[in-house]
Amino acid sequence: MTSEFIHLHVHTQYSLLDGAIRIDALLNRAKDFSMDAVAITDHGTMFGSVEFYEKALKVGIKPIIGCECYLAPRRLTDKTAADGKGLSHLVLLAENQEGYRNLCQLASVAQLKGFYYKPRIDKELLKQHSKGLVALSACLHGEIPRLIQAGKTDQADEAAHFYLNVFGENSFFLEIQENGLEVQKTVNQALLEMSRRLSIPLVATNDCHYLDKEDVRAHEVLLCIQTGKTMNDPDRFRFGTDQLYFKPKEVMLADFKNYPEATDNTGVIAGRCEIEFDFKTYHFPKFDADSELTADDIFDQKVREGYAKRLTEIKAKHPDIDEKAYQDRLEYEISIIKDMGFPGYFLIVADFIQYAKENNVPVGPGRGCVWPDSKVLLANGKEIRIQDIEIGDSVITHSGNILPVQNKMAYDCDEEIVQIDVANGVLSLTQDHKIWAIQSKTCTVNHHKTSSVVCKPACNRHCSEKPFEDYQLQWVKAGQLKKNDFVVFPRIASENKDIIFDLADFVEQKEHIRCDENHLWYEIGTNHLETKKIPRVVCFDQDCAKLLGYYIAEGWSRLGEQECAVGFGFHKEETEYAKEVQQLLKTVFNLES
């Protein structure tokens, strides 16, 4: 390492709602400052590792991957208010691959088991995953600085011994920081004394939370968002310093001029940390065979069983096939899959597909086709032929959701086609196209059995078996449907929405028709005689429906040059009807008659 100072304690944006440093900007800044390595130590997470690693290598900076862990005061499973209060910080850096794996383990367990406001680890877990890690005692929230601040020097020494034992003599450092906080003076002095007393090396860091000094306000806003406070709140959580920025090495060297060992050690640690991510090897999950056989053996066995079954089916249809061609292909495929190391992957996929099939969960890429002129229900209630559908059209799914069409596929099909006769037409589909259906059962009442009467829930015959109680909506392959099965059809549920007619859409657009925003009328003859105005917008309600009913049954209309009229013809004894029509004309169109 050529740089005299390397930042080993840095929070990026992946320290959620706390770190305000973007990875690209961080790397550019490190380059500007001629620092040839930089670490990221986000709070409790490794979210940024891969992005940071890849980007750092691209710009020629050595990535040091770390994490500032939250350490639970007792076990990570203890989750009381006191456990929340007693939380301390610990910075861990991956020195090698083993260390990186341990760090991932710690971060995962912290999220999965130790989460209590923060992802937490504990000392027991730390003991199991300490190899390959360099530990720093962290900020004022570290266990040792906290004990020092509480005046508990003996306990602070005890804690230091614990970390020394766990990480080893050269892999635990007392971290000193200089952020202009009064209390840091006392803590740093105590750490210096402890360093001499217990022979633990010092290391200087700046606990960077933002890139530039000017970003402190933006960072405080971030903290307000994290804690649900406003900037005007006098009690809001804040760091009380504007010194948590990514300082140039000159500033760091000046800040720690009394501790040259501490700044030198940043380079020493950075030089020791060497990890390499392997993006080329496939990391398939291991198949848990629960048997003496290897995954390769089980795979081999299953493939051959399946092959024998298929071959019997094929030979039943085509007795003269060239069996050797099939056999050769089988051996070829098996060998390739084994060479690639894929058997475990195939077995795992086979396992969950098998489960899905046994439990009626639809599987596969949705194989199955319908005839080009099959109807599809669009979200607007219109039906169109599937061949006319466009990508982006909104269709209604079997569950009533509205989804956009994402893709369109069409191909020539030489398979057997199933035709399903349903109430409103015939569906033509391939055998394996799944249909949302209920497979019906036969009525169990004696004299019905022979004639295969289908059992329906609405039936009121006395029967004890009630086969319909087992009816279940499920995906059934079209080829497996039989007569009397129930097929589900989508329809638009009636909506409680007003239907409004704009009458301007209905009248013939002749020259003597006039309309404005609210009314419709005629202008007749050369002297522009206006008829009575009727409302242009009419709500299709009960009255309107009734009036239309009368009109369809008894009405007439005439549109002439000099005169327009609508009339109803009733028998002289039907005065009640006539009166009602008069009333309806008044309520619907505001017309006297």
* Interface region with Zn ion, contact rule CB under 5 A, candidates 154-162, 180-188, 204-212, 510-518: 204-212
Query: Nearer Cβ to Zn ion, position 63 or 145?
Result: 145
Could you tell me the smallest distance in angstroms from the CB atom of residue 142 to Zn ion? Answer: 7
* Interface region with Zn ion, contact rule CB under 5 A, candidates 16-24, 240-248, 371-379, 410-418: 16-24
- E strand spans, 364-506: 375-377, 383-385, 394-396, 402-404, 417-422, 425-430, 434-438, 473-477, 486-487, 500-502
* Interface region with Zn ion, contact rule CB under 5 A, candidates 169-177, 192-200, 207-215, 509-517: 207-215
Query: Nearer Cβ to Zn ion, position 17 or 402?
Result: 17
By CB under 5 A, what part of segment 386-415 binds Zn ion? none
Per CB under 5 A, does 427 bind Zn ion?
Answer: no
Query: Nearer Cβ to Zn ion, position 223 or 520?
Result: 223
Q: Which residues pair with 175 in a beta bridge?
A: 203
Query: Nearer Cβ to Zn ion, position 68 or 143?
Result: 68
Query: Nearer Cβ to Zn ion, position 156 or 538?
Result: 156
Please identify which residue in 175, 207, 255, 296 interacts with Zn ion, judged by CB under 5 A: 207
Q: What's the half-sphere exposure (Cβ side, CA atoms, 13 Å) at 435?
A: 26
Query: Nearer Cβ to Zn ion, position 15 or 130?
Result: 15
Per CB under 5 A, does 42 bind Zn ion?
Answer: no
3-state secondary structure of 76: coil
Quote the CA–CA distance of 108 and 105 in Å, as a whole number: 5
* Interface region with Zn ion, contact rule CB under 5 A, candidates 114-122, 133-141, 271-279, 350-358: 133-141
Structure tokens, 221: 């806003």
Per CB under 5 A, does 175 bind Zn ion?
Answer: no
Per-residue b/e over 97-126, b at no fewer than 16 CB within 10 Å? Answer: eebbebbbebbebbeeebebebbbbbbebb
* Interface region with Zn ion, contact rule CB under 5 A, candidates 45-53, 86-94, 448-456, 535-543: 86-94
Could you tell me the smallest distance in angstroms from the CB atom of residue 232 to Zn ion? Answer: 23
Query: Nearer Cβ to Zn ion, position 84 or 368?
Result: 84
By C-alpha distance, which of 192, 204, 255, 189 is closest to 9?
204
| CA R_g for the chain | 40
Could you tell me the smallest distance in angstroms from the CB atom of residue 205 to Zn ion? Answer: 8
Query: Nearer Cβ to Zn ion, position 141 or 533?
Result: 141
Query: Nearer Cβ to Zn ion, position 205 or 430?
Result: 205
Could you tell me the smallest distance in angstroms from the CB atom of residue 70 to Zn ion? Answer: 9
Per CB under 5 A, does 219 bind Zn ion?
Answer: no
Quote the CA–CA distance of 556 and 267 in Å, as a whole number: 100
- Complete DSSP assignment for 376-406: EEBTTS-EEEGGG--TT-EEE-TTS-EEE--
Could you tell me the smallest distance in angstroms from the CB atom of residue 343 to Zn ion? Answer: 45
By CB under 5 A, what part of segment 20-39 binds Zn ion? none
* Interface region with Zn ion, contact rule CB under 5 A, candidates 136-144, 499-507, 539-547, 566-574: 136-144
Quote the CA–CA distance of 417 and 336 in Å, as a whole number: 36
By C-alpha distance, which of 209, 211, 201 is closest to 266?
201
Query: Nearer Cβ to Zn ion, position 44 or 63?
Result: 44
Query: Nearer Cβ to Zn ion, position 68 or 264?
Result: 68
Structure tokens, 531: 């008829």
Could you tell me the smallest distance in angstroms from the CB atom of residue 51 to Zn ion? Answer: 19
CA angle 146–150–154, rounded 5-degree value: 90
Q: How far is CA 489 from the centre of its chain?
A: 30
Per CB under 5 A, does 89 bind Zn ion?
Answer: yes
Residue 241: what are its φ and ψ, rounded to 5°?
Answer: -155, 155
Query: Nearer Cβ to Zn ion, position 143 or 207?
Result: 207
Per-residue b/e over 26-55, b at no fewer than 16 CB within 10 Å? Answer: bbebbeebebbbbbbbbbbbbbbbeebbeb
By CB under 5 A, what part of segment 299-328 binds Zn ion? none
Structure tokens, 539: 């709500």
Question: Residue 192's CB: how many other CB atoms inside 10 A?
Answer: 17
Say if residues 132 and 100 touch (Cβ distance below 8 Å). yes
- β 62-71/37-43 pair status: parallel
Per CB under 5 A, does 68 bind Zn ion?
Answer: yes
Say if residues 414 and 430 touch (Cβ distance below 8 Å). no
DSSP type of residue 88: E
Query: Nearer Cβ to Zn ion, position 47 or 486?
Result: 47
Helix%, strand%, coil% for the chain, nearest 5: 40, 20, 40
Query: Nearer Cβ to Zn ion, position 207 or 220?
Result: 207
Quote the CA–CA distance of 586 and 593 in Å, as a whole number: 8
Per CB under 5 A, does 18 bind Zn ion?
Answer: yes
* Interface region with Zn ion, contact rule CB under 5 A, candidates 24-32, 81-89, 116-124, 443-451: 81-89
Number of residues that bind Zn ion (CB under 5 A): 7
Please identify which residue in 56, 139, 269, 520 interacts with Zn ion, judged by CB under 5 A: 139
Quote the CA–CA distance of 481 and 431 in Å, as a whole number: 10
By CB under 5 A, what part of segment 452-511 binds Zn ion? none
The site for Zn ion (CB under 5 A) is made up of: 18, 68, 89, 138-139, 141, 207
